[in-house]
Structure 1
Amino acid sequence: MYRQLFAVLLMLLLTGCSSDQRILEKLGLVQTASYDLAENHQLKATYSIPVVDPESSEHRLLLTAVTDSLKEARVQLSKQIDLRLVSGQLRSVLFGSELAKEGLVEHIDTLLRDPSIALGVHVTVVDGDAGKLLSKTFKPHKDTGTYVNHLLTKESSSGAIPPTTLYAFTRDYHDDGIDPIAPVIKDDGDRAGISGIAFFRDDRFVMKIPAKDGIIFALLRGDIKQGELSAKLGERNGRKVVVMFSSMLNKRKVSVQHLGDNRFKFIIANSIQGSVLEYTGHGDLSQSKKRHELEGDVAEYIRDKAQEMVRQLQQNNVDSIGIGQYVRNSLTYKAWKSLDWRKVYPGVEVECRVKVTIKDYGKYM
């Protein structure tokens, strides 16, 4: 009696486990997705799916569909493959620049409604057609999606680009004191490369800065624990003077001054420490006077670059630094709500203050 009952229970358990099984070979694990603006304002979606069959000569599957919405694209793409499409392994979402100019919040909101998609998925703008970049093979990389994901992770860890995720983009979009940002990548022929940082007004891509200025933006936006900066300090005695700063540590302090009549002054004070990795000048850095002169020159270089970047942001009415957050925190709720920040922001007086300290300089003579 008991043996028969045990056998029945065991069979039921085994049957339940079998119904819940997801065999890897039968799943299409979407690792990278790209979206572009197609004709008649339709959406072109491209999925990159790794091939797990060790006997296959292909390393990935590429699926493309043109539809009216992101969800409809998924339905159409699932009909092109004999695998069950799942999004739990999605790592990066690439948006073509033309689609980004139209606005991304609708598409990002659709992605966030899928409970299987993680909030940490990278959000990236492609300079051009995202589907074409994703479909291309960059040797020796066998999977462009994985290659791009590793590239974004490496560059964001060094402070060169902001680590923008679905969560970060959505958070900044819904915050009325800051605008979203995202890294920009492009096809450089035989490789993909970081070409800059995209700045959004609300959810629309309106301007970008080159990748080489990414560290200046990072200094404006907050503290950094690791970074590199190459500063060109002009010519002296017919020779170009370049200093390469490494292992940069930045402490940022901000303050808001009320000037009356909805006018504000915003002060960003950066205290930067770093190591001189390269120096083409003739000054002997073992002498404190020469070292302090170089510190002043680098501080002036960073300050000028930062002021110019702030000017560009204000001209495009893009508050990517988050000045509005600090102004909001200095006001009452009623005063902030009555303030038209988009109208006030371009006229805010912004002052960048920079102090540079050389931690070590090697054996430069």
Structure 2
Amino acid sequence: MKKVQLWSLIIIMIFATGCVEKEILDDVNLETAAGYDYIDKKVRGSALVPVFLPDKTVHNTVFTASSNLSRDFLRDIQRQSSDPIVTGSLEVVLFGEKMAKKGIVDIIDAFQRDASIGTDIYLAVTEGPSKKILEGNYSKRGNAIFISNLIRQNIETKDVPKTNLHLFLSSYYQKGKTAYLPTIRSIGKNKIEISGISLFKGDRVVDTLPAKQMFFFKLLVDNYSKGTFKVDMKTEKAAVESIRSKFKMRLVSRKPLTVGINIKIRAILIEYSGAKVTTKEIKEIEKSLNETIERECTKLIKRFQEKGIDPVGLGHFVKSRTRKFDFKTWEQTGYSNLKVNVKSDVMITESGVIE
């Protein structure tokens, strides 16, 4: 009886595997990156498809199509390709600055409904058209992998806060918080860089932070595991790295409504322009860094309040600690009148090879 059941199970598995739809790599074109631009009152979509050459390098082929409806894009470019274009290998999606200022949620909604696309793909805004970024030649491994790795390593070791499709949508749909994405620009022939952070109100970009503000922005919205920062003192200069940071919010007062943000930082001193590093110099560096962080983070929060955006999530935090919280009142007067006290606690744990 057991043998009969075993053979029946094997037969079912054989026939079941034949029912699964298969896509042979040689018979399809894999879309690894996409770009969207607003051109002449239409949405222009660009699909990056890598062609692998015998010398193990990659030729980047970009298909484009324009439509009044963003969701028609993939259907239209299929007519340009000799093989079906599939989205299962998508690494990154770029939005040109005009498109990002017009609104991107309709496009993103199509991605989150596509079961073949993972929620961990990267999104970014580009200075100028996204198509221009996709058409560059940045790496032998292909542009999509290069751009994806560019964003990933800047999240893990530099000043870009964690971001992907899932996190963007979470911020977009969460009341009391607004979304943000990294900004990418071209800096010459076949070279690009992350130039700042695009800040959204709803699904539209309303402000962009320059690169010099990214360090302070990440301190407010994400935890550092690695990072570097240069400290300008009165007479000397210093640099710290291997920064580890955590931030914590607390409700200080309800009348007036006041929130405290405590930022705890641990770092290693790697460079100092003075002759010798003593305990006194270490304390001066810590004090200078504390003052800079508190001043610049406070400026950022005031900037967000003036723009009516909340990437830090202060509204969500206050709501979680307030009964019968009224978002309408919060958006009209509550957020703009909120007092925020930023307190930084920097400790330099090592002075590296300087000593």
Does the TM-score normalized on the shorter chain lie above 0.5? yes
- 1:20 deviation in Å? 3.8
What is the letter of the counterpart of residue 29 of structure 1? L
Aligned residue for 1:115?
A: 115
Please give the per-residue CA displacement for 1:76-113, whole angstroms capped at 9, x wherever unaligned: 10110011111110010000011111111111111111
Please give the per-residue CA displacement for 1:271-290, whole angstroms capped at 9, x wherever unaligned: 211001111235x323x223
Aligned residue for 2:252?
A: 257
Q: What CA distance in whole angstroms lies between the structure 2 residues aligned with 1:311 and 1:320?
A: 12
- 1:293 deviation in Å? 1.9
Aligned residue for 2:86?
A: 86
- 1:342 deviation in Å? 5.0
- 1:167 deviation in Å? 0.9
- 1:15 deviation in Å? 11
Aligned residue for 1:156?
A: 155
* 1:320 maps onto 2:311 in alignment: yes
- 1:266 deviation in Å? 1.4
Aligned residue for 1:280?
A: 273
What is the letter of the counterpart of residue 350 of structure 2? D
Aligned residue for 1:309?
A: 300
Q: What CA distance in whole angstroms lies between the structure 2 residues aligned with 1:198 and 1:126?
A: 9
- 1:253 deviation in Å? 2.0
Kept in 2: contact 1:33–1:48 (CA 8 A):
yes
User: Residues 73 and 156 (structure 1 numbering): CA distance in 2 closer, same or farther, change over 3 Å?
Assistant: same
User: Residues 324 and 15 (structure 1 numbering): CA distance in 2 closer, same or farther, change over 3 Å?
Assistant: closer
Structure 2 matches for 1:1-365, cutoff 5 A?
Answer: 17=18, 20-40=21-41, 42-52=42-52, 54=54, 59-138=59-138, 140-141=139-140, 143-190=142-189, 191-233=191-233, 235-236=234-235, 241-260=236-255, 263-282=256-275, 284-286=276-278, 288-332=279-323, 334-337=324-327, 339-364=329-354
Secondary structure of the residue aligned to 2:232 is strand
User: Residues 15 and 226 (structure 1 numbering): CA distance in 2 closer, same or farther, change over 3 Å?
Assistant: closer
Q: What CA distance in whole angstroms lies between the structure 1 residues aligned with 2:353 and 2:115?
A: 55
Please give the per-residue CA displacement for 1:42-76, whole angstroms capped at 9, x wherever unaligned: 10000001114638986232101111122211111
Q: What CA distance in whole angstroms lies between the structure 2 residues aligned with 1:53 and 1:22?
A: 21
Q: What CA distance in whole angstroms lies between the structure 1 residues aligned with 2:26 and 2:353?
A: 58
Q: What CA distance in whole angstroms lies between the structure 2 residues aligned with 1:19 and 1:109?
A: 26
User: Residues 176 and 185 (structure 1 numbering): CA distance in 2 closer, same or farther, change over 3 Å?
Assistant: same
Secondary structure of the residue aligned to 2:80 is coil
What is the letter of the counterpart of residue 252 of structure 1? F
Please give the per-residue CA displacement for 1:123-149, whole angstroms capped at 9, x wherever unaligned: 1000111011111223x5462222111
Q: What CA distance in whole angstroms lies between the structure 1 residues aligned with 2:56 and 2:270?
A: 47
Secondary structure of the residue aligned to 1:156 is helix
Please give the per-residue CA displacement for 1:15-35, whole angstroms capped at 9, x wherever unaligned: 974984422111111100000
Q: What CA distance in whole angstroms lies between the structure 2 residues aligned with 1:199 and 1:107?
A: 18
Please give the per-residue CA displacement for 1:298-343, whole angstroms capped at 9, x wherever unaligned: 11111111112112111211101111111111111x2334533353
Q: CA RMSD in A?
A: 2.5
Name stretches of at least 5 consecutive residues in structure 1 with no aligned partner. Answer: 1-5
Q: What CA distance in whole angstroms lies between the structure 2 residues aligned with 1:363 and 1:13?
A: 64
User: Residues 247 and 115 (structure 1 numbering): CA distance in 2 closer, same or farther, change over 3 Å?
Assistant: same
TM-score if structure 2 supplies the norm length? Answer: 0.90
Kept in 2: contact 1:317–1:342 (CA 8 A):
no
Kept in 2: contact 1:96–1:127 (CA 8 A):
yes
Secondary structure of the residue aligned to 1:339 is helix
Moved more, 155-164 or 265-274: 155-164
- 1:201 deviation in Å? 1.0
Kept in 2: contact 1:161–1:211 (CA 8 A):
no
Q: What CA distance in whole angstroms lies between the structure 2 residues aligned with 1:350 and 1:281?
A: 36
User: Residues 211 and 27 (structure 1 numbering): CA distance in 2 closer, same or farther, change over 3 Å?
Assistant: same
Secondary structure of the residue aligned to 1:82 is coil
Kept in 2: contact 1:25–1:52 (CA 8 A):
no
Q: What CA distance in whole angstroms lies between the structure 2 residues aligned with 1:75 and 1:29?
A: 15
User: Residues 79 and 341 (structure 1 numbering): CA distance in 2 closer, same or farther, change over 3 Å?
Assistant: same
